Structure 1
């Protein structure tokens, strides 16, 4: 039972304290314009104190190398069965062609994820197939950062080949993998997961794989798929688990989570049962902004970098999120299929100049960064 006021909770956060889960839930349940304005202002102040005014971005390319997937997540419009219309599977030459084009356009990062394709094997093993991709990219572009393969993909490889998670991650890192995307998290609550992604790894396994990646010397990102069936209590539980994981990794001296990315649910082309249950096709910007602000307030002491999704919110929505606690506007992507096939309206490619103009519209400076948030040059 919360007896504090919004002002008291925000004052404690502004004094550097980690707020309790109950306080986070209380903030998410605020409806009055004045309370929400206070939350936004506090999140923006914390952003300025924790990371400053510079808004960062990365020049990257997103490669979704296959949409053939054995799982059937209720929110996913991307997956296909192997023989289904629209199914695709890029070969190594196509992946390298896309990578070469990205480098020519200034990319410092390739972000790569795909469906769970049981046929994706080399010499009878799943790991060998994934290693060949990593090795081929790194042989051709040794300085390119490869940010690839979600915890779900790590579990898939391990299951297919009878390996431990640590063995899979160690092999991928030795081949040249630079970091892991913290996707497949959706909402870290098994009640939610049983409804929206019952075939996916459970909460404990997701946390275990990310912790092992940190232990193996790899940074990860973190995400949340929001705005579908989850409650404020489940959203804050998700934040709490991320915060605890980050505290544990940093205490042990491991690389940790570089950023938190909110991914609002897009349902326009999602499977009909979940689409009907949610009752709308596009994210509610106001809900996403409030959750963005509370994420900064709850996580910012431990995960300082926060990023909106311009693919899901559109560039205008993502730019507004920069005044609600975000300090990074994401990457150029160059192509994107998972969210676009769900009916997102934000586009698939963003030019550097377009991102810079959006940031400058807020009278904030901008700077290109690398994947792990090292600034590359002062620009605006």
Structure 2
């Protein structure tokens, strides 16, 4: 296998095989890495041009009380623990009003799996009340909320189907789902890092069901811990297949973006931190994987975003040279990663995001959650068309 041929194939929008993806990750010489970076940047420009998008949004983590004990998570608490929280609607409204005043178009909501979060004995009724309360008070804000794990939790608690949960949340005002809780889509790894979480097949089923029912999702991978290069590429392959399924079946929704989430171990549980042996992400390896993800997803997932919370703004800006075309959101607050010891901060201003983009000679473009430029279409490649 020759590097130049694999890169030429990717730039020509031919799908790389799993073996070719693994081959790209095996290249470690500076000259080889530069060829991979350059090819990913070339493909980014071919698909997305020189615009780099961002969204003005606010994170709302409504509770950190959680029934599960993921080995990478420093966020979760048991009820009654020091640091446990569960925000009521009035507190969430205050945060949403502040976000709107600061120009936000999106609320990103995720929380722990709190067994006590019920109304009339039903988990779904609690989540519906949460969404309806915010949507009625702030109708202009797009609600990007609830991971596949949260969908599974609601369905399991109430004994109903995933489709019933998704339809009810959509009708209440949820506009899209975050594709988190994917971690690595390999059950061997999941048993090591998140043994209580939903399995790979269930994650894929829920995301595909959301697409079929008209809710766009994002996609992610937790990287830089115990996973192998093969498991990384096979994760990419399953996401690419999921996107192809949505397009081939003409589902009304699909994956809007891919985000690498490098492991932060500084304050994470010792069981995984000690095995990884590193507190902060390895930027060089993250950038290499960023480029390979762009080349592997090709025409299927256009929008690639780094995590400035995990990499810092300088690291995330560098990722724009390795295939990324989006710099994420303002967030305004962030708890899950910062509680693990991330050093990238919890809030960026629009001026900081635009300045980082402009420093590379790229064109800053404010978008909404669904990758539409505000007030006009965001180009023909906004949503991974067929």
Q: Is 2:34 the partner of 1:37? A: yes
Q: 1:117 aligns with which of 114, 117, 121?
A: 114
CA deviation profile, 1:120-144 (whole Å, cap 9, x unmatched): 0011100000000110111111121
Q: After TM superposition, what 4+ stretches of structure 1 lie above 2 angstroms from structure 2?
A: none
User: How many residues were matched structurally?
Assistant: 375
Counterparts of 1:184-195 in structure 2, within 5 Å, are 184-195=181-192
Q: Is 2:199 the partner of 1:208? A: no
**TM-score w.r.t. structure 1 length?**
0.98
Question: What 5-or-longer segments of structure 1 have no aligned partner?
Answer: none
The Cα RMSD (Å) is: 0.8
Who is 1:353 aligned against?
A: 351
Who is 2:334 aligned against?
A: 336
Who is 1:16 aligned against?
A: 13
Asked if the contact 1:368–1:377 (Cα under 8 Å) also holds between the matched residues in 2, the reply is no
Q: 1:48 aligns with which of 45, 48, 53?
A: 45
Who is 2:143 aligned against?
A: 146
Q: How far apart are residue 300 of structure 1 and its match?
A: 2.7
Instruction: Tell me how far apart the structure 2 counterparts of residues 216 and 141 of structure 1 sit (CA, whole Å).
Output: 24
Instruction: Tell me how far apart the structure 2 counterparts of residues 331 and 190 of structure 1 sit (CA, whole Å).
Output: 31
Asked if the contact 1:367–1:377 (Cα under 8 Å) also holds between the matched residues in 2, the reply is no
**TM-score w.r.t. structure 2 length?**
0.96
Instruction: Tell me how far apart the structure 2 counterparts of residues 142 and 91 of structure 1 sit (CA, whole Å).
Output: 19
Instruction: Tell me how far apart the structure 2 counterparts of residues 252 and 179 of structure 1 sit (CA, whole Å).
Output: 19
Who is 1:262 aligned against?
A: 260
CA deviation profile, 1:219-260 (whole Å, cap 9, x unmatched): 000000000000000000000000000000011122100000
Asked if the contact 1:61–1:335 (Cα under 8 Å) also holds between the matched residues in 2, the reply is yes
Q: How far apart are residue 377 of structure 1 and its match?
A: 6.3
Who is 1:197 aligned against?
A: 194
Who is 1:290 aligned against?
A: 288
Q: 1:326 aligns with which of 316, 324, 327?
A: 324
Instruction: Tell me how far apart the structure 1 counterparts of residues 62 and 287 of structure 2 sit (CA, whole Å).
Output: 31
Instruction: Tell me how far apart the structure 2 counterparts of residues 88 and 291 of structure 1 sit (CA, whole Å).
Output: 35
Counterparts of 1:162-241 in structure 2, within 5 Å, are 162-241=159-238
Instruction: Tell me how far apart the structure 2 counterparts of residues 100 and 221 of structure 1 sit (CA, whole Å).
Output: 25
Query: SS of 1:376's equivalent?
Result: coil
Asked if the contact 2:10–2:298 (Cα under 8 Å) also holds between the matched residues in 1, the reply is no
